[in-house]
């Protein structure tokens, strides 16, 4: 009994000596708001947008009366032959342990994207600290330069760029946002193609938004803007789509949420007479059909929306004019889809993922055309477009605000 008591006492004493041997204090952590990856002569260049807690907590992220305030972020880079080594090298400069799960955005430099992102994808999926649902964008130049730009009125530039991508996706569907797991899935599919929003610094060529002094101005000389859709074939960037081509791919892939189209007024030959149609809901259905050795893609689109602006000389409230307006909208959507598919064929990148549709319905036939799909198979596809548009609302008024409208 005495031995049992001694043993119990020693056990309790042993437990009291344990502690958190691998703990990290909050003041030792450096929160990463955004991550950028470039390629250079020395290897990988990883850029970190590190949050400055004192600026955020003290509310000094904005400009002060005496000039520039304390910057809410600190941006620095490290170089290494591999991504892991480049990050390890960062600790020769960073006084804090870098914390990556907070990062909401990954910006890829144009050179890195063009040379291939296979290593980047592999690195993201191997490391538990890196989030697979991070938003991915491609810079028109260096990713490091993009992360240095302040974006008013937001304090954290990384979060601001992520929000710009999300708002663009939600409110106009021109350049759909994409996350790391979606990018991986698209490049690993039969089509082996993906579109990634391309971000660019526009405005005065020498202007930069690296100083807090710039935020004292009511209009900054340069702005960060999404200007296109970078196209990846396999793991390499092979080009970019403009707005019309990108929205066409959105229609072909069923990614249109809210989008505004400018349509010529029915029966009008004047370039200035147009009305705006905003989609409320949209659905796309794609069915492959085989005829001999040729494939036809039947694309059916149903869209519903409202007229939000009109300077037409006719009354769109009349049923005949309303139907004519719907036909005009349908033709605009068809033209966007044709432009998107033409751009895909030009870049030999199956952005609508027709290859996956054929593979699902004709798995045996797909094996025989798989190897030549990007070179020859895509060009032989026939596109049949069926679009049905319903205008559910014409707004608070039936007529345009013009004299003599009937």
Domain ranges of the chain: 27-55+70-241, 243-399
In the predicted model, is pLDDT for residue 214 greater than 80?
A: no
Can you list the pairs that 283-292 forms with residues at least 24 positions away whose Cβ atoms lie under 8 Å? 283/254, 284/251, 284/252, 284/253, 284/254, 284/256, 285/254, 286/252, 286/352, 286/354, 286/357, 287/357, 287/361, 288/354, 288/357, 288/358, 288/361, 288/362, 290/362, 290/365
Can you list the pairs that 16-25 forms with residues at least 24 positions away whose Cβ atoms lie under 8 Å? 24/97
Q: Average pLDDT of the chain?
A: 85
Q: What is the structure's pLDDT at 16? A: 54
Q: What is the mean pLDDT of residues 107-112?
A: 95
More confident residue, 177 or 403: 177
Q: What is the structure's pLDDT at 123? A: 93
Give tens-digit pLDDT for 117-174.
Answer: 999 999 999 988 888 999 999 999 999 999 988 887 878 888 889 899 988 888 888 9
Q: What is the structure's pLDDT at 97? A: 84
243-399 fold: GMP Synthetase; Chain A, domain 3 (3.30.300)
Q: What is the mean pLDDT of residues 32-55?
A: 89
CA count, 13 A, side-chain hemisphere, 290: 15
Q: What is the structure's pLDDT at 284? A: 96
Cα–Cα distance between 271 and 284 in angstroms, integer?
30
Structure tokens at 124: 């993201």
Give tens-digit pLDDT for 247-271.
Answer: 999 999 999 989 999 999 998 888 8
Which residues make Cβ contacts (< 8 Å) with residue 312, sequence separation at least 6? 265, 266, 268, 273, 274, 275, 400
Query: Quick one: pLDDT band at residue 25, thresholds 50, 70, 90?
Result: low
Q: What is the structure's pLDDT at 262? A: 93
In the predicted model, is pLDDT for residue 382 greater than 80?
A: yes
CA count, 13 A, side-chain hemisphere, 291: 7
| 8 A C-beta contact, residue 250 and residue 176 | yes
Cα–Cα distance between 48 and 98 in angstroms, integer?
9
Q: Which of 8-17, 125-134, 230-239, 362-371 has the lowest mean pLDDT?
A: 8-17
Q: What is the structure's pLDDT at 62? A: 44
Which residues make Cβ contacts (< 8 Å) with residue 403, sequence separation at least 6? none
Q: What is the structure's pLDDT at 1? A: 58
In the predicted model, is pLDDT for residue 60 greater than 60?
A: no
Give tens-digit pLDDT for 169-207.
Answer: 888 889 999 999 999 999 999 999 999 999 998 876 555
Q: How far is CA 278 from the centre of its chain?
A: 21
Other beta carbons within 10 angstroms of residue 328's beta carbon come to 20
Q: What is the mean pLDDT of residues 288-306?
A: 93
3 state SS for the chain: CHHHHHHHHHHHHHHHCCCCCCCCCHHHEEEEEEEEEEEECCEEEEEEEEECHHHHHHCCCCCECCECCCCCEEEEEEEECCHHHHHHHHHHCCCCEEECCCCCEEEECHHHHHHCCHHHHHHHHHCCCCCCCCEEEEECCCHHHHHCCCCCCCCCHHHHHHHHHHHHHHHCCCCCCCEHHHHHHHHHCCCCEEEEEEEEEEECCCCCCCCHHHHHCCCCCEEEEEEEEEEEECCEEEEEECHHHHHHHHHHHCCCCCCEEEEECCCCCCCCCEEEEEEEEEEEEEEEEEECCEEEEEEEEEEEEEEEEECCCCCCCCHHHHHHHHHHHHHHHHHHHHHHHHHHHHHCCCCCCHHHHHHHHCHHHHHHHCCCHHHHHHHHCEEEEEEEEEEEECCCCCCCCCCCCC
Task: Using a pLDDT cut of 70, give the percent of the chain over it.
Answer: 83
Query: Quick one: pLDDT band at residue 67, thresholds 50, 70, 90?
Result: very low
Instruction: Name residue 10's beta-bridge partners.
Output: none
In the predicted model, is pLDDT for residue 305 greater than 60?
A: yes
Q: pTM of the full predicted structure?
A: 0.85
Cα–Cα distance between 118 and 152 in angstroms, integer?
34
Q: What is the structure's pLDDT at 389? A: 95
Q: What is the mean pLDDT of residues 59-81?
A: 68
């Amino acid at each position: 009994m005495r031995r049992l008591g001694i043993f119990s006492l020693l056990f309790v004493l042993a437990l009291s000596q344990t502690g958190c041997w691998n703990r990290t204090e909050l003041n030792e952590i450096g929160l990463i708001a955004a991550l950028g990856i470039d390629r250079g002569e020395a290897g990988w260049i990883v850029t970190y947008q590190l949050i400055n807690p004192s600026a955020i907590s003290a509310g000094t992220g904005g400009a002060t009366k005496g000039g520039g305030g304390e910057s809410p972020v600190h941006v620095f880079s490290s170089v290494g032959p591999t991504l892991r080594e480049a990050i390890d090298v960062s600790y020769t400069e960073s006084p804090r342990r870098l914390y990556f799960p907070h990062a909401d955005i990954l910006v890829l430099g144009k050179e890195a994207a063009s040379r291939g992102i296979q290593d980047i994808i592999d690195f993201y999926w191997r490391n538990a600290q890196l989030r697979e649902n991070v938003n991915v964008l491609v810079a028109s130049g260096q990713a490091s330069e993009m992360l240095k730009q302040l974006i008013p009125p937001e304090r954290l530039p990384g979060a601001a760029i992520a929000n710009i991508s999300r708002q663009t996706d939600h409110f106009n569907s021109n350049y759909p946002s994409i996350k790391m797991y979606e990018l991986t899935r698209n490049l690993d599919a039969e089509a082996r193609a993906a579109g990634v929003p391309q971000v660019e610094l526009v405005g005065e060529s020498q202007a930069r938004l690296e100083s807090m002094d710039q935020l004292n101005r009511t209009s900054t000389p340069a702005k960060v803007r999404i200007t296109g859709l970078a196209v990846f074939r396999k793991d390499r960037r092979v080009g970019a789509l403009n707005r019309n081509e990108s929205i066409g791919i959105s229609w072909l892939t069923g990614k249109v949420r809210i989008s505004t189209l400018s349509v010529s007024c029915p029966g009008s030959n004047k370039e200035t007479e147009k009305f705006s149609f905003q989609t409320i809901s949209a659905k796309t259905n794609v069915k492959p059909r085989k005829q001999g050795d040729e494939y036809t893609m039947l694309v059916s689109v149903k869209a519903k929306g409202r007229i939000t602006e009109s300077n037409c000389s006719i009354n769109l409230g009349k049923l005949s004019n309303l139907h004519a307006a719907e036909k005009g909208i349908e033709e605009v959507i068809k033209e966007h889809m044709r432009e998107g598919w033409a751009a895909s064929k030009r870049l030999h990148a199956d952005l609508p993922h027709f290859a996956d549709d054929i593979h699902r319905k004709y798995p045996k036939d797909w094996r025989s055309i798989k190897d030549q799909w990007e070179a020859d198979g895509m060009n032989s596809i026939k596109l049949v477009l069926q679009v049905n548009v319903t205008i559910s609302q014409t707004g608070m008024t039936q007529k345009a605000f013009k004299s003599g409208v009937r």
